[in-house]
Structure 1
Amino acid sequence: MVGIAIPVITGCASPATKTERVAADSGMTGLLLVGSAFSHSAFFAEGRGDDLHVYLSGDGSPWIDEHRIAKDPTPRNPVALRLMALDPRPRLYLGRPCYHGLTDSSACDPWLWTNGRYSEEVVASMTHALEEFIQQQDFRNVVLIGYSGGGVLAWLIAERLEQVRLLVTLAANLDTDAWTARHGYTPLLGSLNPAKRAALPARVRQLHIAGERDANVPPALIQTALNSAGSQAIVQVLASDHRCGWQDHWPSVLRAISRIREGQRDP
């Protein structure tokens, strides 16, 4: 079995239960998907259309401060899930290893949400879980939508998953080396860096969106990352900072996604 439906909890507001509350309020079904090495918490909602929109969250809170690793890295503010709630298409929120209440799993280690947050192990397991889901549900075309660090993972999954037709990133740190250097963070030596990889396959169109007031991942950092990766992509800058403003713009972004996908279907 690829996925197991799980009840959505609406109790006290830990990061995991806060995410579950947002999902429950939006009528999403909680799932547990099995990847190549980890289990992945996920949420699914049916909708109109043939494409599956897959949402990937930001890094959350890997660290409490510069010396202490968080026990639970789950995002305190589930931005990607809130955006997914506004989407009328069939959609899946795919969680990372050890996030959303799975931190105590035997395979989990803090390395997976710190230096190894974009590692081969993480990307391979998420890709496997998603591939099994789309085959079971018979989706032939996938739009990957990654917010912040989720955009890094979306890029790395798009390299491997043949059904991906469009990659959409929001405020994504696509050059992880430049991003850590900018902020004085520890280099993510166990992670893959999109800016150092080959260009994505021609089948994958790209839409990268930056926030004009984003001090965490400023527009120039995104554009430079795309230049160094040799990417042919659409880049938009919206009136947003790193965390706030995305929901206001999301209906227009969804319309842009639809236009790009309709263009891809043209003969």
Structure 2
Amino acid sequence: MTMVRRTSESKGMRARIAAAVLAMLLLPGAMTGCTGLDPNVHADSLAASAGLIREQVDAGGFVLTAFARISRPDQPLTVYIEGDGYAWMSRSMPSPDPTPHQAMGLALAAADGSANVVYLARPCQFTPMSLNPRCGIPYWTGKRFAPEVVASLNGAVDRFLARLNPQPGQRAHRLNLVGYSGGGALAVLVAARRTDVVSIRTVAGNLDDEYVNRLHGVSPMPESENAIDVAARVAAIAQIHFTGADDTVVPPEVAQRFVEREGAQCAQVRTVPGVGHDGDWAARWPALLAIRPTCVERSMGAT
């Protein structure tokens, strides 16, 4: 069983979160993805400012890097899943290392003041390749949403949930999932395998990779699962899909297609003006996070 470190609740959590977001925004190239700072140094600095501690979790086939803060084991757990990272050097040349230069999923986690927050990097991100002999270019290109990737992330979620200690009468597991870009697809795919997810939030989420790939004229991914194909299986989970009005990578219609496939009872799309795919989501996140996903009862109509 993997051992992970506990942290104590910080009295100055709000101040540290504000500092983390500010640090991210002030780094050169924070909004463009270009920075001279080592990705690991940047991630450690951002995470430390929010009380998130780096860990490595052996989760079924991949050793995943996580950053976690669990200070109230009696409270719900929110898990953030990173985007695709630095998957491609150009349209036709994959990167040798998918670790994100600017980890937007981590920036969102750092902006979350909840008591229990876990950030999960994707397979092969941040973790040394020597610890992941399974890692190879397919896992950040055509197989990035493969069943074994979903299973590994799901296993990591189980390990962190095991650290919660609900009080008598409380639900044993209260899990909120958040995913950025490709991590949004994986949040949905993980939720489809579970029965304990109470909410899903995606940010610029690639919820229909077949449509997005056709839109950009790139190859399909037959070895990957597609989030829109499991829409019906998560239809009873309260969810919000945040999209950027200026996002040309995963445009707002992707989330609309997902919600239409699923039905609007528990899912809604919120389009944020003036934001692109890798825009200033972290700065806006505290306000967006305050918007609670809810399920709306359908009208039965006249009889």
- TM-score under structure 1 normalisation? 0.88
Counterpart-to-counterpart distance in 2, 1:38 and 1:162 = 23
Q: Which of 270, 275, 286 is the aligned partner of 1:236?
A: 270
CA contact (8 A) 1:196 1:229 kept: no
1:184 corresponds in structure 2 to 217
Counterpart-to-counterpart distance in 2, 1:59 and 1:252 = 24
Counterpart-to-counterpart distance in 1, 2:57 and 2:252 = 34
Q: Displacement of 1:128 after TM fit?
A: 1.0
Please tell me the root mean square deviation across aligned C-alpha atoms, in Å.
2.3
1:9 corresponds in structure 2 to none
Gaps of 5+ in 2: 6-35, 167-172, 297-303
Q: Displacement of 1:47 after TM fit?
A: 4.9
**Change beyond 3 A, Cα 1:138–1:118:** farther
Residue deviations 1:42-75, cap 9 Å, x none? 0011356711111111101111123322111011
Residue deviations 1:127-162, cap 9 Å, x none? 011112202334610110001110000000001122
Counterpart-to-counterpart distance in 2, 1:182 and 1:203 = 29
Structure label with greater radius of gyration = 2
Query: Size of the alignment, in residue pairs?
Result: 256
CA contact (8 A) 1:164 1:204 kept: yes
1:67 corresponds in structure 2 to 92
Q: Displacement of 1:76 after TM fit?
A: 1.2
1:100 corresponds in structure 2 to 126
2:259 counterpart SS class: helix
Counterpart-to-counterpart distance in 2, 1:17 and 1:168 = 27
CA contact (8 A) 1:148 1:170 kept: yes
| Identical-pair percentage | 33
**Change beyond 3 A, Cα 1:101–1:18:** farther
Counterpart-to-counterpart distance in 2, 1:203 and 1:31 = 32
1:8 corresponds in structure 2 to none
Q: Which of 9, 12, 18 is the aligned partner of 2:42?
A: 18
* Equivalence map 1:1-267=2 (5 Å): 1-5=1-5, 13-47=37-71, 50-89=75-114, 90-104=116-130, 105-138=132-165, 140-201=173-234, 203-230=236-263, 232=265, 233-239=267-273, 240-257=275-292, 260=294
Gaps of 5+ in 1: 6-11
> After alignment, is 187-196 or 146-155 more displaced?
187-196
Counterpart-to-counterpart distance in 1, 2:94 and 2:264 = 34
Counterpart-to-counterpart distance in 2, 1:51 and 1:243 = 28
Counterpart-to-counterpart distance in 2, 1:30 and 1:209 = 27
Counterpart-to-counterpart distance in 1, 2:160 and 2:87 = 27
Counterpart-to-counterpart distance in 1, 2:149 and 2:185 = 12
Q: Displacement of 1:2 after TM fit?
A: 2.3
CA contact (8 A) 1:31 1:43 kept: yes
